[in-house]
């Protein structure tokens, strides 16, 4: 019998792991996920590294690097890049076999640069060069302030994972930024193939309205947003603008479902996996969700290219007093603030660990 994760893979959806630690690299966990669960990439963020550092998993590395004079951001990026290089090498066969469309890992720029386009572009370019891996994305938030940095980074040939997107409008703005960068490359006579993904966050929608809507609407908002976003993705693929770029050799920015662990303990633990099954997309999930889907996940339906009844469901939420556009703005703003806090916590953690280990 074909495993649930293999079924998703065969459907045309990439399964990525939303986690990385040095221990997982050392003990073969990531290799096992690749072989057993059809995992073809992974994502990282400062919170993931903060948790691993707090658990003592990087004590030796921090002691060694701090003794050589590294501190703060420089020390963190040295550690993170070491891990992500190893992970990128594990996914290199997938990257090659997929024609450079899959097999990626992701590294985030400092969120403290969020309001400085030039600094973000410079950091993205420097980090990608420092990592020296073709299959490594640089994560840049798809906020209004980040859109210019996304276009410029793509124009400079830096693969970008556009993160912190929540609704269809934010996704389309990120897609526009990507295409603007590709158009700049074509105008300059450069190779139009620069990989990118657009990461749309799911579970935070349902957590945000928990207890504020009728019972029949519980845990239905995220999947409805996913449906309308998938429709926009498919419509964009058929648009004149994209077809013109495709004719010049460009490749579509892939749609990625992020934040797919279930927050409501009463809900199915795989609802944001089975409910977002769709060809030519990516679902990045934490270990627990991946293990759960491999164990008891099922595929009943796939997302319809027209979004199915998603628009009607969103209208029900509007009637219940939920402003979808307003909530999307709030979720992105809250997410950006959380990114900064996570980064600050990480820098504090590294400073404390360096002092304690020196």
Question: Taking the CA of residue 293 as centre, how many other CA atoms within 13 Å lie in the half-sphere pointing to its CB?
Answer: 33
CA gap 280, 206 in Å, rounded = 25
Catalytic site includes residue 139: yes
Tokens of 117: 């386009």
Tokens of 260: 């797919």
Cβ neighbours, 10 Å, residue 318: 12
On whether the CB atoms of residues 343 and 112 are closer than 8 A, the answer is yes
DSSP 14-53: EEEES---HHHHHTTHHHHHHHHH-EEEE---HHHHHHHH
CA gap 199, 260 in Å, rounded = 11
Closest CA to 271 of 258, 282, 260, 283: 260
CA gap 133, 141 in Å, rounded = 21
Cβ neighbours, 10 Å, residue 241: 12
How many residues in the chain?
Answer: 358
Spot the catalytic one: 51, 139, 330, 341: 139
CA gap 252, 282 in Å, rounded = 13
Cβ neighbours, 10 Å, residue 29: 16
CA gap 325, 317 in Å, rounded = 11
List, by residue number, the catalytic residues: 139
């Amino acid at each position: 019998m074909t495993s649930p994760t293999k079924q998703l893979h065969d459907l045309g959806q990439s399964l990525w792991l939303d986690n990385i630690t040095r221990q997982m690299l050392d003990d073969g966990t990531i290799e096992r996920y690749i072989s057993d669960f059809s995992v073809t990439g992974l994502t990282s963020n400062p919170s993931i590294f903060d948790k691993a550092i707090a658990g003592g998993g990087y004590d030796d590395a921090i002691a060694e690097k701090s003794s050589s004079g590294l501190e703060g951001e420089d020390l963190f990026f040295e550690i993170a890049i070491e891990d992500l290089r190893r992970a990128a090498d594990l996914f290199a066969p997938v990257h090659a076999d997929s024609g450079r469309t899959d097999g990626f890992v992701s590294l985030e720029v400092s969120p403290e640069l969020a309001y400085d386009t030039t600094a973000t572009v410079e950091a993205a370019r420097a980090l990608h060069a420092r990592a020296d891996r073709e299959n490594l994305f640089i994560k840049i938030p798809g906020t209004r302030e980040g859109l210019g940095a996304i276009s410029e980074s793509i124009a400079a040939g830096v693969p970008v994972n556009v993160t912190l997107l929540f609704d269809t409008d934010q996704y389309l703005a990120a897609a526009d930024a990507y295409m603007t960068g590709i158009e700049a490359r074509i105008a300059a006579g450069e190779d139009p193939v620069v990989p990118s993904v657009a990461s749309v966050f799911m579970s935070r929608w349902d957590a945000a309205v928990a207890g504020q809507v009728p019972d029949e609407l519980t845990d239905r908002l995220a999947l409805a947003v996913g449906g309308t976003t998938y429709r926009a993705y498919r419509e964009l693929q058929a648009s004149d603008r994209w077809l013109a770029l495709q004719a010049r050799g460009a490749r579509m920015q892939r749609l990625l479902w992020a934040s797919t662990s279930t927050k409501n303990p009463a809900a199915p633990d795989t609802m944001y996996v089975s409910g977002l099954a769709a060809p030519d997309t990516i679902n990045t999930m934490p270990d627990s969700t991946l293990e759960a889907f491999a164990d008891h996940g099922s595929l009943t339906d796939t997302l319809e290219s027209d979004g199915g009844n998603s628009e009607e469901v969103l209208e029900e939420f509007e009637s219940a007093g939920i402003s979808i556009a307003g909530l999307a703005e709030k979720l992105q703003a809250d997410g950006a603030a959380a990114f900064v806090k996570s980064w600050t916590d990480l820098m504090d953690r590294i400073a404390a660990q360096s002092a304690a280990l020196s």
